[in-house]
Amino acid sequence: MTFTPPVAQCSSQIRSVNQINNIGLGLMVVDVIVLAAGLGSRMLSEMPKVLHCIGQAPLIAHVISAVAPLTPRCVIAVVGHGAAAVVKTVSALHADATCIEQGDMLGTGHAVAQALPALPPAVDGAMSKVLVLFGDTPLVRSETLQRMIDSPAAVTVLGFEAVDPTGYGRLIEEDGSLVAIVEHRDAGPAERAVTLCNSGVMCVEAATLRSLVPQIGTDNAKGEYYVTDIVALARKAEQSCAVIRCAEEETLGVNDRAGLATAEAAFQTRKRAEILSAGVTLTAPETVHLALDTVIGPDSVVGPFVVFGPGVTVENGAEILPFSHLEGCHVSQGARIGPHARLRPGAEIGAGARIGNFVEVKEAQIAQGAKINHLSYVGDAQIGEDANIGAGAITCNYDGVMKHRTEIGARAFIGSNSALVAPVRIGDDAMVGSGSVITRDVEAGALAIARGAQTNKPGLARRLMERLRAIKAARR
């Protein structure tokens, strides 16, 4: 099976000025190769490892998000296990990405070799570099990758000072240059004392990458092609090699469920700090869970134990009260959500609107100043400005086969425990009496009452209770 689109998909022409980085040394063209073919057997999952999620997004989504600010000319994902699913995800994340299938898993050097034919040609007058990243290393920062691109070396490796370097390849430097990568099992006592370790992430001049990858051999314990052998080959060819350092957290690779949980915790800590620095109040930051794409405006306040799913934007000055869950929704300026509210995909909450406790909103537009304060479900609906939805009122949007819409006009008042059976329209300034089941449109300004007439039976309650107690006593 082949998933390789035409190379033209990456385009041999630079599509915009923004896709060329000017680093003071001339024009710089950046291409990206993401290695995403691994099985991830330690995950004990049929799902490809790079599709497991942190921050409500696949691991590979974090990597593609990190390279987006670099405006790369071309993104190539090398896929293997579960290729169809990975291709579908990558295509959704980056419409212009190219996916190449690595049929035989022969190592990272072999994976890069599969991607080389899809790299577009050089651009006259521009330096071209290639970032080689891993789809299961989700925490690398855009700023770190930019520093790698800015390095003048032909080969730049991302390194980190490890708290415990056991098992990592050591980066050996002399006079500020990288001279070797020594695997832990091959390291002597002096080399094992080095704590500068190899992340595997690399930035290589495109011409160097093209010339050296075919020279990578399999003289190692696993008999695989390792892309890190490029360092030794570059030194042999008298080409410069360097190390760019980053925090150890950025290099965290996810190999099992414990690693996934560690990455999730690290992501949440980073994202919370980002939200706080943007002028948002988190009253109990450690309890708030955020998604990769969560956007919250300044002067908003988020209470404890709030969960943001994917696709949430909260505008300035909104308040999200405790134990609320938001996903695929937009909350406008000054709106108040919760506590214990659930906003599902398609919920559009207008400025100053109120969505209260145990209220669920789905595929509904709630206009400015509208209030849904208690125990209600509003789905497939449009609620007008300053309308009030009483406690326990619901829109009955599903007939067992299809969904139908409810429209409620501006300043309408819907009494408690009413059921609006869609499709139905309640006009501006209309009222619905409590406990009504509304099946027909209500014109503007009208009062609708749809319930049985109340009948009182004097003394009947007392007689019924006496009878029931007698029955209960007889059964003892």
Helix 142-150 to helix 59-67 angle, to the nearest 10 degrees? Answer: 50
Q: Contact, 404 vs 379, CB < 8 A?
A: no
Tokens read off for 82:
């579960």
Q: Contact, 25 vs 152, CB < 8 A?
A: yes
**Active-site residue (options: 81, 94, 184, 374):** 374
Containing 66, the helix (H) or strand (E) segment is helix 59-67
Closest CA to 149 of 299, 327, 20, 252: 20
Q: Contact, 268 vs 55, CB < 8 A?
A: yes
Indicate the pLDDT class of residue 26, thresholds 50, 70 and 90.
low
Question: Per mean pLDDT, which range of 123-132, 201-210, 331-340, 410-419 is the poorest?
Answer: 123-132
Other beta carbons within 10 angstroms of residue 457's beta carbon come to: 8
Give mean pLDDT, residues 196-211. Answer: 96
Confidence (pTM): 0.88
| Residue-wise pLDDT tens digits, 358-387 | 999 999 999 999 999 999 999 999 999 999
325 labelled catalytic: no
| Residue-wise pLDDT tens digits, 414-467 | 999 999 999 999 999 999 999 999 999 999 999 999 998 889 999 999 999 999
Q: Contact, 282 vs 28, CB < 8 A?
A: no
Closest CA to 49 of 38, 61, 34: 38
Q: What dihedral angle (degrees, nearest 10) is formed by the CA atoms of 232, 238, 239, 244?
A: 60
Tokens read off for 177:
């240059």
Is the predicted pLDDT of residue 180 greater than 70, yes or no? yes
- What is d(CA 403, CA 195) in angstroms, rounded to the nearest whole number? 60
As a whole number of Å, the CA-based R_g of the chain is 30
Amino acid at 11: S
Coil/strand/helix, residue 447: strand
